[in-house]
Amino acid sequence: MNSPASPVSLTGPPLALSVSSFVSSFDRFAVSPMLVLIAVDLDVPLSAAVAAASGYYLAYGLTQPLWGLLSDRFGRVRVMRVALFGAALAGVASALMPVIGALVVARVVTGACFGAVIPTGLTYVGDTVRPAVRQRALTDLMAAAALGTALATGLGGVVAGLVDWRVAFTVPAVCALVCALTLGSLPEPPRARVEGAGLGAARYLGAVLGHGWALLVFGLAFVEGAIMLGAMPFLATALEHAGYAAAVAGLAITAYGLGLWSFAKLVKRLAGRWPAPALMTVGGAQLAAGFLLVSLHVGMVTVAVTALLLGGGWSFLHSSLQTWATSVVPEARGTAIAFFACALFVGSAVASWVAGPLAEHGRYALLFGLASAAAIPLTAVAALTRRRYGLLERPQPQPE
């Protein structure tokens, strides 16, 4: 394999990239508060409307490896622009669909297209920002996505209720079109080439899937997704099970996006001063403490505090894992980041499936207690292996 090309000298993500990440996150999280309204308007059961969200999430996660391979082969900016154009068209189609089946198809296509934005954006940062300040830049990108998450969970249902749910699909679609046009001004970063026999895609896959450290990082992402993304959605249902209205439960979960945004700013200050294992330890401790708190008592205050702690845990732990993923296989960075994201979402899907029966029977204390317990070995393994990786990567003194 050739060594990676020299990165462009940037210290943070370009504004167009941050806005694109914001729009992608907003579109992904805005649909949940609108499901009841969609079901009523289209005169279908709620379970049918949920398919519009679950299909979106499934397409979002499963298309990650494809986008990664394409970005390694054809370029980061080109792939993001094509994906955003597709998301714009599919988003407008979503707003126009008169029946649930067509809406589900449109949302699946939208999720597949928006799925390219954040992982490819992370790859762009990995290509253009030097390692010493890369986590700070990735944290900026995470903060933009977190702001989109917070506004989507807080405003998505309000916009749909006061205006129309179709407007909540139209606005991100228009923004995606603007982002696709604006990204045209970004330079395409140089990419290293993977040498060897076979087609280009096979070489990139071999470089990533044959790398032991990369497989470890993917495994950690799978477990993190299972704990965090798999258990967190049940915070709202736990509140509703305790007698709170759906709107109130959604308001409490908004604390997650706000916590993620604020803690991301703190991580940006600490990155470079604290070693990655220390950041991982702080993040994992927040995950464990947050889920432990809500396993003891479900209420507005405990759920809001847990959501804040989960936002902090995501900022500290996930940004550290993301940074590691950008550097573990630099010659196939796009493919590595895509598999990292895919592992994250597959982990969340598996955990949601396993946790569903517990939630159905109201056993939230056990559900959240298991998530808290699982965060402890995840944190220990992540911190210890990251420290080991750092020692192996450190230049060895040459004999005189």
| Tokens describing residue 45 | 């059961």
Q: Count how many domains the chain has.
A: 2
Determine contact, residues 115/58, Cβ cutoff 8 Å: no
pLDDT at 212 over 50: yes
Residue 1 maps to a domain = no
Residues 184 and 216 in one domain: no
Residues 166 and 217 in one domain: no
Residues 188 and 243 in one domain: no
Spatial CA neighbour of 62 closest among 100, 120, 116: 116
More confident site: 241 or 171: 171
Calculate ∠ Cα 41-47-50, nearest 5°: 75
Residues 97 and 219 in one domain: no
User: CA-based Rg of the chain, rounded to a whole angstrom?
Assistant: 20
Residues 315 and 333 in one domain: yes
Q: What CATH number corresponds to the domain at position 99?
A: 1.20.1250.20
Angstrom distance (rounded) from CA 127 to CA 68: 13
pLDDT at position 160, please?
Answer: 57
Q: Can you name the residues that pair with 10 across neighbouring β-strands?
A: 129
More confident site: 388 or 352: 388
Altogether, the residues listed in the chain come to a count of 400
Residue 4 maps to a domain = no
More confident site: 205 or 299: 299
pLDDT at position 157, please?
Answer: 57
Angstrom distance (rounded) from CA 179 to CA 173: 10
Residues 227 and 358 in one domain: yes
Spatial CA neighbour of 64 closest among 344, 379, 320: 344
User: 229-286 pLDDT, tens per residue?
Assistant: 788 878 877 887 888 776 677 677 778 878 887 888 888 888 878 999 999 999 999 9
More confident site: 11 or 154: 11
Our measurement of the distance from residue 399's CA atom to the centroid of its chain's CA atoms, rounded to an integer in Å, reads: 45
Q: Which amino acid is at 323?
A: T
Residue 5 maps to a domain = no
Angstrom distance (rounded) from CA 96 to CA 393: 53
Residue 399 maps to a domain = no
Residues 179 and 269 in one domain: no
| Tokens describing residue 182 | 């604006």
Residue 400 maps to a domain = no
Residue that terminates a domain, selected from 192, 219, 248: 192
What backbone torsions phi and psi does residue 273 show, to the nearest 5 degrees? -90, -40
3-state secondary structure the chain: CCCCCCCCCECCCCHHHHHHHHHHHHHHHHCHHHHHHHHHHHCCCHHHHHHHHHHHHHHHHHCHHHHHHHHHHHCHHHHHHHHHHHHHHHHHHHHHCCCHHHHHHHHHHHHHHHCCHHHHHHHHHHHHECHHHHHHHHHHHHHHHHHHHHHHHHHHHHHHHHCCHHHHHHHHHHHHHHHHHHHHHCCCCCCCCCCCCCCHHHHHHHHHHCCHHHHHHHHHHHHHHHHHHHHCCHHHHHHHHCCCCHHHHHHHHHHHHHHHHHHHHHHHHHECCECHHHHHHHHHHHHHHHHHHHHHCCCHHHHHHHHHHHHHHHHHHHHHHHHHHHHHCHHHHHHHHHHHHHHHHHHHHHHHHHHHHHHHCCCHHHHHHHHHHHHHHHHHHHHHHHHHHHHHHCCCCCCC
Residue that terminates a domain, selected from 159, 192, 225: 192
Residue 3 maps to a domain = no
Residue that terminates a domain, selected from 192, 227, 243: 192
Residues 224 and 174 in one domain: no
pTM for this predicted structure: 0.75
Residues 61 and 20 in one domain: yes
Average pLDDT over residues 339-365: 82
Q: Give the count of beta carbons closer than 10 Å to the beta carbon of residue 149.
A: 25
pLDDT at 138 over 70: yes
Residues 100 and 228 in one domain: no
- In percent, the amount of the chain with pLDDT more than 70 equals 88
Residue 398 maps to a domain = no
pLDDT at position 331, please?
Answer: 81
Spatial CA neighbour of 141 closest among 265, 289, 251, 301: 265
User: 179-207 pLDDT, tens per residue?
Assistant: 999 999 999 887 665 554 444 567 777 88
Q: How confident is the model at residue 327 (pLDDT cuts 50, 70, 90)?
A: confident
349 Cβ neighbours under 8 A, 6+ residues apart: 57, 58, 61, 230
Domain containing 245: what range?
A: 200-392
Tokens 């598996």 -> residue: 350
Residue 266 maps to a domain = yes
Residues 210 and 278 in one domain: yes
Distances (CA, A) of 167 to 41, 93, 160: 14, 12, 7
Q: Which amino acid is at 373?
A: A
Residues 308 and 324 in one domain: yes
Buried b (16+ CB within 10 A) or exposed e, 180-216: bebbeebeebebbbbeeeeeeeebbbbbbeebebbeb
